[in-house]
Amino acid sequence: MATIGILTGGGDCPGLNPVIRAVVRKAHNEGYKVIGIKDGWKGLIEANTMPLDLVATSGILHRGGTILGTSRTNPYKKEGGVEKVKANFKKLGLDALIATGGEDTLGVANKLTKDGVPNIVGVPKTIDNDLSATDYTFGFDTAINIAMECIDRLHTTAESHHRILVAEVMGRHAGWIAVESGLAGGADYILVPEMPVDIDEICEAVKKRHARGKQFSIIVVAEGAKMKERDVTQDQSLDEFGHVKLGGIGETIAKEVEKKTGFETRVTVFGHIQRGGSPTAFDRILGTRFGVKAVELVKAGQFGHMVALVGNKIVAVPLEEAVRELKTIDMELYNVAKEFFG
Ligand code: F6P
């Protein structure tokens, strides 16, 4: 019986457990055995695994996070990491590996494919929705629905206190969460990493709104948005993929807006709330479709590929294409949101 390994790497997100469940079910139906690799690439470096069967994956469809655990370990940054991955691939008797993750995890999958670990299939995941070659990644829909609900809640308190409320949402390099949650939540201004922040423009929009009688405003800012003049990132330490820990932009904007408009301003950071809890129906279904398709790719020997949503079809795209560049926001969508600024 051929054996498939599965791992989940990078930041967790709702929809990972539906993928694991679907992989195990489809593999079972096709006569494969599945081994769960714990904590992303770290588990493959350490040969830390758990058996996965129908019993182990029962009752997890609605659960957030990942039963396999995750980490931001990069085998290319660990002494002998790649050699250990190769050796454990053999030791564990893996005929194929399904790597589920975002740009970093799939970037490693792509490099390993070129470096002589040819039996890898990718599954795209990230709440940031910034992976190329797929229209959507699971986790994103849940994140924007949570952020939208939080923005709704900010509206009532902002209105009661006649305040400006700045909501900082996730989104490291791309402002998908900011644009879509802001659009759905009726934001009065949205800031994204793709465009430098112009404080005067924000203040003008807020003043215009207040001049027509509104006494509160909601500004949504992606954590990766940048001030024109300076870097406001609080923590400069890097993870193994070279990312800084973001945070601080919301606070900076709130202070500047309050100073320049004279309106009392507060900031709320939504943070990991956006990544926790149960997946939406959309993310459960997308994760399930991705999981089933990933096993089909294994069966067809279509390695070095990632499953992707294109239109409403699940297709296979080369890993290389998926990790070549990040998918930044659709400016048409941002321009729709812009109609409601101020
Ligand atoms: O996985 C993507 C993401 O949620 C980004 O939006 C965010 O910048 C980052 O992960 C946060 O990472 P951590 O979980 O390490 O704080």
Ligand 1 contacts CB of residue 14 (under 6 A): no
User: How much is the pLDDT for 228?
Assistant: 76
User: How much is the pLDDT for 246?
Assistant: 77
Task: Compute the distance from residue 275 Cα to the ligand 1 centre, in Å.
Answer: 9
- For residue range 255-298, list pLDDT tens digits in order: 999 999 999 999 999 999 999 999 999 999 999 999 999 999 99
Ligand 1 contacts CB of residue 127 (under 6 A): yes
> Helix count (H) and strand count (E) of the chain?
11, 13
Strand ranges of the sheet holding 217-222, from the earlier edge strand across to the other edge? 189-191, 217-222, 164-169, 265-269
Ligand 1 contacts CB of residue 11 (under 6 A): yes
Assigned CATH for 3-138+279-323: 3.40.50.450
Ligand 1 contacts CB of residue 126 (under 6 A): yes
Closest CA to 233 of 241, 224, 220, 221: 224
Task: Compute the distance from residue 143 Cα to the ligand 1 centre, in Å.
Answer: 12
Q: How far is it, in rounded angstroms, from Cα 52 to Cα 49? A: 9
Atom of ligand 1 at shortest range from CA of 275: 4
Residues identified as active-site: 128
| Residue of minimum CA distance from atom 1 in ligand 1 | 11
- Global pTM reads 0.95
According to CATH, where is 3.40.50.450 located in the chain? Answer: 3-138+279-323
Centre a 10 Å sphere on the Cβ of residue 156 and count the other Cβ atoms it contains.
10
User: How much is the pLDDT for 232?
Assistant: 63
Task: Compute the distance from residue 243 Cα to the ligand 1 centre, in Å.
Answer: 9
For 257, left (φ over 0), alpha (ψ -120 to 50), or beta? alpha
User: How much is the pLDDT for 147?
Assistant: 98
According to CATH, where is 3.40.50.460 located in the chain? Answer: 141-276
Atom of ligand 1 at shortest range from CA of 128: 6
Amino acid at 31: G
SS3 179: helix
Question: Quick one: 141-276 is in which CATH superfamily?
Answer: Phosphofructokinase domain (3.40.50.460)
| Residue of minimum CA distance from atom 12 in ligand 1 | 11
Helix (H) or strand (E) holding 19: helix 16-30
User: How much is the pLDDT for 229?
Assistant: 66
Amino acid at 243: H
Atom of ligand 1 at shortest range from CA of 171: 6
User: How much is the pLDDT for 247?
Assistant: 72
Task: Compute the distance from residue 11 Cα to the ligand 1 centre, in Å.
Answer: 6
Residues of the chain with pLDDT under 50: none
Q: How far is it, in rounded angstroms, from Cα 164 to Cα 34? A: 51
The residue whose CB lies within 8 Å of the most ligand 1 atoms, and thus the one to mutate among 39, 71, 74, 127, is 127
Cα 310 → chain centroid: 18
Centre a 10 Å sphere on the Cβ of residue 335 and count the other Cβ atoms it contains.
9
